[in-house]
Chain A
């Protein structure tokens, strides 16, 4: 009954694989997401319904759910969990692990099979590995039973919830990248004239990476203590920036046959531009982590920054000198075949997932559903000290959340969430990305030419794909491609 320990095998007889969008449509319809669920209910009261169902399931028994959560997220989970216990009588036990260890601890379950947790909060890019290791429960049947109509309509990004067509988690954190700009600089008539004279167009929130690079270079005046950007040139961040730049040139990282495209001309161009842009960054770009970045940009002497909702929570807060002085923008895109495409990038995101070893899988699922319901998730996102950023349309209308993030930012954030390109949700994600970022950093520090770096990455990726099993990876890659935002899909090759 759903306690599947085997990796999910796609039944190709039932879901004949066609190319492109047809495949996705076939999957979704055949899994009955749009069909009427057995437990028809209104979206607004899904949390009470879920709690009610759980209470009935647990009737007469003392049930405790164990949640494996990363340290620092308790502020988001506790308010929701307390309401759950009040409504259902089911206790929640928190098992906290250090932030950097959460994906590891979930994977460890594959070896230890200890049933140590019922629910876990891995980061979304860890899901493929965890599913393939048999750690996570396939939630399709529960979703069919309990998800109300329209549940995903205001769920702005949920690509990470699925793997090879099945549901494995509920996103609970809106980690899409956004850009921050100093309003004063953008609206300064003087700067506008100087920039327009040189480049032929005026200052504005950049639409493309080329425009952003030009503006960063324009504003980079270190001798005056002014920097073009506080972008990141450290490990994972640099790879994330490349990911967006590459997609903005109009290509998927792999072609339809899982051959890497990362080292094509567009890729080399994207990497070269990234390395060039390094010249316009502040001195701490190569070394600073997330919080140093907040503090640095909060000083107000840098033109632009890149970051998540958490970045804005700081920049809009009492410690930052730029609160109220910022303009926001989606991640820049690119002109592909004449059209402007935007490639906002979603690259972390905590997910509620259910353990395949759980003894109360249905109740655990119901808690996850409860927690990401519009009403409950709004409460979770309100926590100032927590990780969860807005991810449902309902959040953006909440006054407390608006105060926390500022309405202008939320407008941009919401638009980004709707159109975000996903991370590389493949088995072995860590290895793929590790190869990419090592080579990108080598290119950035001048040890390798961009072409060499990307060629090395491509051959490493081929090796990894072979080791992971090309057929299996191709199933997921085809599915993942079909989950890219519809507006971008037609422009990407």
Chain B
């Protein structure tokens, strides 16, 4: 790319809509930055304050007059098994869902490398789950997994006996419908990614390997996968970030129950803030989660730019 007069300049020439003293670039960024300031930065500062108080609306005093309690919230959180369970459970969600989505998507994508008459239709149907409003998809799964519902019916037919298991009411198995809903909804995204990645692979290396007589599986593992790894990495990071925040399926399918057996971090914070109204306590939890997320995701996100 030939150098132009704007290469590498931080200040842009030309009149700036905000008047002299403000660079054009700054002015263009301003609306976006202001929005983020208002909606993200200010509330985050407020959480910093709330997290060191024990404020609850039932205290009858406004939040800015709440009592300062140093770091006792964090201390309580450390010993709160409901909170630590929620964090671990969410990490489990992320691990299981994202890896499952990746594996299924990869296997599927490999099947789509060649052309056949109804390939386009097949792709369209397979990516359909991605285009469903998550809440509606969760409702569908709620109906499907009810104790006297279609899935149990199919299982009963296969097993040849009565099967009326109440998935959503069992502390151990209620996670399954939630994970399935999430996987069902987002595997298509992984599929598209893997497909795009595979289709864009440089042909030369693969051709050479084929010519040298390597078996398909060896070609796949030794050549295609490594070439695909940037895309896989991006996919893993992005889906992990999004899955970490999982809320919609949990709320619709179980509300975090039975008890708190399926609470994700977002569900825990929702219950804590809106059912028990322990706002200060949950603000402290939010801070901890923020620290956790940023410390893990930020170095990973730098990879995205490579």
Which residues of A are interface residues toward B (Cβ below 8 A)?
6-7, 100, 104, 107-108, 110-111, 129, 132-135, 234-235, 283-284, 286-288, 292, 427-428, 430-431, 434, 438, 441, 467-468
Which of B21-29, B51-59, B292-300 lines the interface with chain A?
B51-59
Q: Assess the B276–A7 pair: CB atoms within 8 A.
A: no
Expressed in whole angstroms, the Cα–Cα distance for A110 and B61 within the complex equals: 10
Q: Assess the B258–A235 pair: CB atoms within 8 A.
A: yes
Could you mark each residue 224-259 of chain B with 1 if its beta carbon is under 8 Å from any beta carbon of chain A, else 0? Answer: 000000000000000000000000000000010111
Provide the residues of chain A in CB contact with B259, threshold 8 Å.
Answer: 235, 438, 441
Q: With A286-B169, A287-B166 in contact, is A6–B275 under 8 Å at CB?
A: no
CB proximity to A under 8 Å, residues B260-282 = 260, 274-277, 279
A-B contact pairs, 20 of them (CB 8 A): A104-B274, A104-B275, A110-B57, A129-B58, A129-B277, A132-B58, A133-B60, A134-B57, A234-B258, A235-B259, A284-B147, A284-B166, A286-B166, A286-B169, A287-B166, A287-B169, A430-B275, A431-B276, A438-B260, A468-B58
Q: With A235-B258, A431-B276 in contact, is A6–B169 under 8 Å at CB?
A: no
Q: Assess the B166–A427 pair: CB atoms within 8 A.
A: no
Provide the residues of chain B in CB contact with A427, threshold 8 Å.
Answer: 58
Q: Assess the A467–B54 pair: CB atoms within 8 A.
A: yes
Closest to B274 in A: A104
Expressed in whole angstroms, the Cα–Cα distance for A234 and B279 within the complex equals: 28
Provide the residues of chain B in CB contact with A135, threshold 8 Å.
Answer: 57
Q: Assess the B276–A107 pair: CB atoms within 8 A.
A: no
User: Any chain A CB within 8 A of the CB of B163?
Assistant: no
CB proximity to A under 8 Å, residues B98-154 = 147
Expressed in whole angstroms, the Cα–Cα distance for A107 and B56 within the complex equals: 10
Could you mark each residue 55-69 of chain B with 1 if its beta carbon is under 8 Å from any beta carbon of chain A, else 0? Answer: 011111001000000
Q: Assess the A108–B274 pair: CB atoms within 8 A.
A: yes
Query: Nearest Cβ in chain A — how far from B300, in angstroms?
Result: 35
Expressed in whole angstroms, the Cα–Cα distance for A428 and B275 within the complex equals: 10
Closest to B58 in A: A132
Q: Assess the A107–B57 pair: CB atoms within 8 A.
A: yes
Main secondary structure of the interface of B (DSSP, over half): loop
Provide the residues of chain A in CB contact with B255, threshold 8 Å.
Answer: 100
Q: Assess the A234–B169 pair: CB atoms within 8 A.
A: yes
Provide the residues of chain A in CB contact with B170, threshold 8 Å.
Answer: 287
Query: Nearest Cβ in chain B — how far from A116, in angstroms?
Result: 15
Expressed in whole angstroms, the Cα–Cα distance for A428 and B170 within the complex equals: 27
Q: Assess the A287–B274 pair: CB atoms within 8 A.
A: no
Provide the residues of chain B in CB contact with A434, threshold 8 Å.
Answer: 276
Query: Nearest Cβ in chain B — how far from A433, in angstroms?
Result: 11
Q: Assess the B169–A133 pair: CB atoms within 8 A.
A: no
Expressed in whole angstroms, the Cα–Cα distance for A111 and B277 within the complex equals: 10
Of the candidates A104, A111, A288, A467, the one whose C-beta lies within 8 Å of that of B63 is: A111
Expressed in whole angstroms, the Cα–Cα distance for A134 and B63 within the complex equals: 13
Provide the residues of chain B in CB contact with A468, threshold 8 Å.
Answer: 58
Q: With A234-B169, A287-B169 in contact, is A134–B60 under 8 Å at CB?
A: yes
Expressed in whole angstroms, the Cα–Cα distance for A92 and B54 within the complex equals: 38
Expressed in whole angstroms, the Cα–Cα distance for A431 and B82 within the complex equals: 13
Beyond the given pairs A111-B57, A129-B277, A132-B59, 6 more chain A to chain B contacts, judged by CB atoms under 8 angstroms and listed by A's residue number, are A7-B60, A107-B57, A110-B58, A111-B279, A134-B57, A235-B258
Of the candidates B60, B164, B257, B277, the one whose C-beta lies within 8 Å of that of A107 is: B277
Q: Assess the B276–A430 pair: CB atoms within 8 A.
A: yes
Expressed in whole angstroms, the Cα–Cα distance for A110 and B274 within the complex equals: 12
